[in-house]
Structure 1
Amino acid sequence: MRITLAEEVMLLSLDDESGSVKQRQSVNWAVAGALLLELVLAERVRVSGKYLELVDAPPTGEELLDGRIESIRAWMRGRTRRRVSEWLTKDQAKAVGPVVEWLVGRGVVVEERRKALGVFPVRRYPESDGAAERELRERLASAVSKGAEPDERTASLVAVIHAAGLHGLAFPGIPRKEITARTAAISEGHWEAESIRAAIRDMQLAMAAVTAATVVTVT
């Protein structure tokens, strides 16, 4: 059973004890980018510069990915291509839920429901089996901290982590400045990932600008 890139991002972001999502806003963008990149690797989506287009190919057989293909198809509205950044903007707020549900279905995490203050429903997703996350972190450490040559999937994941600024989640305890150069080098060496990385980065900068403008207006 292969864990997708988006699921790997979720494993890195879920708190091992509480099951809550850390750095939720950045993780939203990372998961959306990881799902899209997974489709690129599966040759169901093509990314060229700032644009994406669907490839005429049979379903992958993975429900999580095929559902995203249909969502992109509906969003394209018959066009041959649309901007990567537009899709990520649309998908970033919706991508986490299906990925977490898929992890639950695989038995990697369990769903716990409770009520905060005895009133508000809250869901948490602690791990049921830590083997997948341990293997994941070992693979990332080998590529980034130890300098081993990453395979395509590991390089793709590193590119998403770098773009979304999730260094602290992926490499806890290691100062970001010690690993940023390596994650950047891996990202820039992976053409498809670089296109998506740039789109995530641009959208994050835009969101930061909007937030700053809102604060100034209010104050």
Structure 2
Amino acid sequence: MLDLLEELLLLAVDEEKGTIPLGVSGRIDFCLSGALLIELELRNRIKVDKKTLKIIDRSSTGHSRCDTLLDLIDRSKRVRSPGYWITTTKKAFKHLRRKYLEGLVDQGILREEERQILWVFPSTAYPLRDTLLKRELRDRIRLVILREEIPNPRTTRLIALVHACGLTNTLFDKDERKMARKKVKALAKEDQLVQAIMKTIQASNSGAYAGSL
């Protein structure tokens, strides 16, 4: 079973080009950091509201990065905001995107290709080797949004992250997008961590520091 970060990256990567669209690429690292925190929340290790993120269970999750992050939060001298921990996670887990992409390569889901941009600059692409998982992910989201199937908590959080990353249009046909955007946005609005991710992205784009609280 893929975790939220793997699912989000799989949805973001272009199947043939093996790259992440420019508009999404500027958001994805904040979303991946937030997704790691959401993993802790789904595993009932933290509790989040608009202003605070608190540990409620210090026991191991069995997920190495989640446990490392849980320990980092536990060592904080005071309770911090969700925005603070999104920013801190992004700094603490360097190259998170690349490491997760390489992990998907190791699982045989993506393949790694070395390329050159303008025949000069080296670049790595990650086209899909196995398209089945991505198709299943898209179908799972589309069933919730278009057919109002009741989602489990993990799918709900994934849909909210799709909104935060700006991926909605890539998952729906042109005639579906207006309605899909409305429903995806509504789900994201109820998610405190995703709202914090979006505020952190906005603050980063404006040059402000979102993790000051």
TMscore range, shorter length = 0.7 to 0.9
Misfit runs of 4+, over 4 Å: none
1:151 aligns with 2:152: yes
Quote the offset at 1:186 in angstroms: 2.7
1:34-45 matches, cutoff 5 A: 34-45=35-46
Mapped to 2, the partners of 1:208 and 1:111 lie a distance apart of: 30
Deviation of the 1:92 alpha carbon: 4.0
> RMSD in angstroms over aligned alpha carbons?
2.4
Contact 1:6 1:35 in 2 (8 A): yes
SS at the partner of 2:48? strand
The higher-RCO structure (CA 8 Å, 6+ apart) is 2
Relative to the length of structure 2, the TM-score reads: 0.82
Distance 1:125 1:83, change over 3 A: same
Measured after TM superposition, the shift of residue 142 of structure 1 is: 0.2
Alignment of 1:36-185 (within 5 A): 36-62=37-63, 66-71=64-69, 73-74=71-72, 77-92=75-90, 94=94, 95-174=96-175, 176-185=177-186
> How many pairs are equivalent?
203
Whether 1:196 aligns to 2:193 is yes
Aligned residues of 1:164 and 1:200 also touching (Cα < 8 A): no
SS at match of 1:43: coil
Question: Structure 1 residues 104, 203: CA separation in 2 closer, same or farther (over 3 Å shift)?
Answer: same
5+ residue gaps, structure 2, are 209-213
CA contact (8 A) 1:39 1:45 kept: yes
> Structure 2 counterpart of 1:44, which letter?
R
Cα 1:77–1:49 change in 2 (3 A) is same
Q: Partners in 1 of 2:171 and 2:58 — Cα distance?
A: 33
Write the distance in 2 (CA, Å) between the matches of 1:164 and 1:114. Answer: 25
| SS of structure 1 residue aligned to 2:116 | strand
Q: Is the 8 A contact 1:50 1:195 kept in 2?
A: no
Q: Percent identity?
A: 31
Q: Which runs of no fewer than 5 residues in structure 1 stay unpaired?
A: 212-219
